[in-house]
Amino acid sequence: MTISTIKDLFVHTTEKNAEYPAFGFVGEESLTYKHFREKVQSVMAYLKSKGISKGDKVGILSTNQPHWGVSYFAIINMGAVVVPILPDFLESEIENVLEHSETKALFVSETLYRKVKPALFDKLKFVMLVEQFAEVVVNTPENELAKLPTSLGATKEYEYAEIEKNDLATIIYTSGTTGKSKGVMLSHWNLVFTVFGSGKIHPMGTRDRLISILPLSHTYENTIAFLLPFYSGAAVYYLRKPPVPSVLLPALKIVKPTIMLSVPLIMEKIYKGKILPNINSKAITRVLYKFGPTRKLLNKVAGKKLMETFGGCVEFFGVGGAKLDPEVERFLIEAKFPYAVGYGLTETAPLLAGFNSFEGKFQSTGPAMDGVTLKINNPDPVTGQGEIWAKGDNVMLGYYKEPELTAEVITSNGWFKTGDLGAFDEQGYVFIKGRLKNMIVGASGENIYPEEIEAVINRFKLVLESVVVQKKGKLVAMVHFNMEEIEAKYKDLKEQANVYVEKQLEELTVELQQFVNSQVNKFSRVQIVVAHLEPFEKTATKKIKRFLYY
């Protein structure tokens, strides 16, 4: 059959792979594709009974779980529009999404319903708990949910809608690094096209197993770790608790995933929190790590242990959502770890470029995905750098209710302006410099890329993360140090501990400034370093919300 819509994809997969495991919680029995289809059809019947029809907006505010996928496909197969909401959105952001999108009904998980203001419940046709598919009402005085008698109905009552490939499938509200949340409209074909294209980079099949740790409401996880494995007949497993090490590590041993998707921050934490301290704990390995040949041997040994940590079967470890730290990438290459990098945006469903395991180039995001054309608009004649523009069937329909904003980013002949600065090499591999909005223009008109300065800062001892901004004409580095490690040195000093910690921070900031300025060009030298005691606020893919710190 020809697959051009999510409905087509659903029918094809659930018939072809009926007896294979589809979705489940780690350590528990999974839903087969057949049972998953039956659940979807029952929820479709219920949606129809509640008056949901083609074009209606239905929200999902839920943690990752098998019933998230059931809700998603039930909504879409009705011809309705899915509005996934990020679990870490604030109450005000959730209210904005529900009202701006004109959402008529909501699937919500038990852990998140309190984020929905009681007054909003009255505006919706119904609210359903994802875990049990039980309709609920809110008891306003106590803000408690009361379950209503719910009958999902027989599966024979379901009815697929007539859906065209360019029909709207989902509105995804971004929680970007630059401020206001926008509703990105993605069509059925936007998503199916990306599933096909990303599947060519690393084909999946019924033997593959994934553990899903990023929010399903984010387009990266939604397309690459949900729709693609679904189309491929793979098995996806979810955690009942947040993916902290004490929860994730035992799960990895149980599932032994062949595929993992992550963001750079997770791998960076493993490298800086586990691998480097282990190497630095002995004087001999600390010295040996400074020399290329012996460093590579130590990294190879560490790579084998890292593979064991992830269950021993990983063939593809996808990293996306932000740039990978150069030092961490060098480790992954020398460790022979099967990492892969992708590049894209919510507006492109999301993938634009990527490479398979062991096919990458250092600090590149790979060549354009099949069917996508990338170009540098008005490249600098010397460096070849400029804004990356993209054209392909995965470019969004536009921003919901924002025609003027849409016109700013999509040209009349279909080029999407990514807002990312980059360049290509001879083989077409993409190298990202940073965001156009983040670029700082120096006193003499030179371009300063804060991401490049931050990459140097983040290599300095005890630094966890940083943000470089311009304030009153000066480059200011806000740096979040590993406070736990600093405070641990003085934990036995009691009353005097705070004094020593403050002194240590002062010394570190001075030393850091000298280190950075010796590593960057004269235009990128930092004038002020400020210790930021708390972690920076981040998006769903763990990128720092820079606009909060300008």
Chain-centroid distance of CA 92 in Å reads 22
Question: What type of residue is 377?
Answer: N
Residue bearing the bigger pLDDT, 541 or 522: 522
- Do 416 and 477 share a domain, yes or no? no
* Residue 284, in any domain of the structure: yes
Residues sharing a CB contact under 8 Å with residue 242, sequence separation 6 or more, in sequence order: none
Domain extent, residue 60, equals: 6-193
Nearest to 82 by CA among 210, 168, 3, 181: 168
- Tell me the C-alpha distance between 450 and 466, whole Å: 10
Residues paired with 211 in a beta bridge: 237, 260
Q: Which of 23-27, 148-152, 243-247 has the lowest mean pLDDT?
A: 148-152
Q: How confident is the model at residue 141 (pLDDT cuts 50, 70, 90)?
A: low
Residue bearing the bigger pLDDT, 42 or 498: 42
pLDDT over 90 (residue 321): no
- Do 417 and 478 share a domain, yes or no? no
* Average pLDDT for 49-63: 96
Contact status, residue 348 vs residue 308, Cβ threshold 8 Å: no
Dihedral of the alpha carbons of 323, 329, 332, 337, in degrees to the nearest 10:
40
Burial tier of 122 (Cβ tally within 10 Å: 0-12, 13-18, 19+): exposed
- Do 287 and 303 share a domain, yes or no? yes
Tokens standing for residue 306: 């890292």
Contact status, residue 325 vs residue 264, Cβ threshold 8 Å: yes
3-state SS record for 162-222: CCCCCCEEEEEECCCCCCCCCEEEEEHHHHHHHHHHHHHHCCCCCCCEEECCCCCCCHHHH
Nearest to 366 by CA among 389, 334, 344, 337: 344
Q: How confident is the model at residue 127 (pLDDT cuts 50, 70, 90)?
A: very high
- Do 409 and 464 share a domain, yes or no? no
| Domain limit, last residue, from 419, 435, 451 | 435
Helix (H) or strand (E) holding 368: none
Phi, psi dihedral angles at 226 (to 5 degrees)? -130, -65
* Residue 400, in any domain of the structure: yes
Q: Output the pLDDT for position 389.
A: 98
Residue bearing the bigger pLDDT, 331 or 524: 331
CA distances from 496 to 39, 491, 501, 531 (A): 61, 9, 9, 20
Q: How confident is the model at residue 211 (pLDDT cuts 50, 70, 90)?
A: very high
Cis peptide before 245 (omega within 30 of 0): no
Contact status, residue 302 vs residue 335, Cβ threshold 8 Å: yes
pLDDT tens per residue across span 171-202: 999 865 455 679 999 999 999 999 999 999 99
- Tell me the C-alpha distance between 407 and 390, whole Å: 15
Helix axis angle for 292-309 and 326-334, nearest 10°, is 80
Contact status, residue 424 vs residue 430, Cβ threshold 8 Å: yes
Chain-centroid distance of CA 414 in Å reads 26
Q: Output the pLDDT for position 332.
A: 97
- Do 456 and 425 share a domain, yes or no? no
Nearest to 532 by CA among 472, 456, 457, 433: 457
* Residue 201, in any domain of the structure: no
- Tell me the C-alpha distance between 21 and 373, whole Å: 36
| Domain limit, last residue, from 435, 465, 488 | 435
How many domains would you assign to the chain?
A: 3
- Do 424 and 461 share a domain, yes or no? no
Contact status, residue 135 vs residue 126, Cβ threshold 8 Å: yes
Q: Beta 528-531 vs 21-25: how paired, if at all?
A: unpaired
- Do 363 and 475 share a domain, yes or no? no
Nearest to 463 by CA among 383, 374, 526: 526
* Residue 204, in any domain of the structure: no
* Residue 410, in any domain of the structure: yes
* Residue 20, in any domain of the structure: yes
- Do 475 and 327 share a domain, yes or no? no
| Domain limit, last residue, from 193, 226, 261 | 193
* Residue 207, in any domain of the structure: no
Residues above pLDDT 90, as percent of the chain = 71
- Do 446 and 409 share a domain, yes or no? no
Contact status, residue 148 vs residue 134, Cβ threshold 8 Å: yes
- Tell me the C-alpha distance between 96 and 472, whole Å: 34
Residues above pLDDT 70, as percent of the chain = 95
Q: Output the pLDDT for position 541.
A: 76
Tell me, what CATH number does 404's domain have? 3.40.50.12780
pLDDT tens per residue across span 471-517: 888 899 999 998 888 877 777 666 676 777 788 888 889 999 999 99
Q: What is the pTM of this model?
A: 0.88
* Residue 161, in any domain of the structure: yes
Tell me, what CATH number does 529's domain have? 3.30.300.30
Q: Beta 209-211 vs 259-262: how paired, if at all?
A: parallel
- Do 278 and 179 share a domain, yes or no? no
Q: Output the pLDDT for position 147.
A: 76
- Do 403 and 457 share a domain, yes or no? no
- Do 309 and 418 share a domain, yes or no? yes
pLDDT tens per residue across span 236-249: 999 999 998 899 99
Nearest to 43 by CA among 58, 55, 30: 58
Contact status, residue 73 vs residue 98, Cβ threshold 8 Å: no
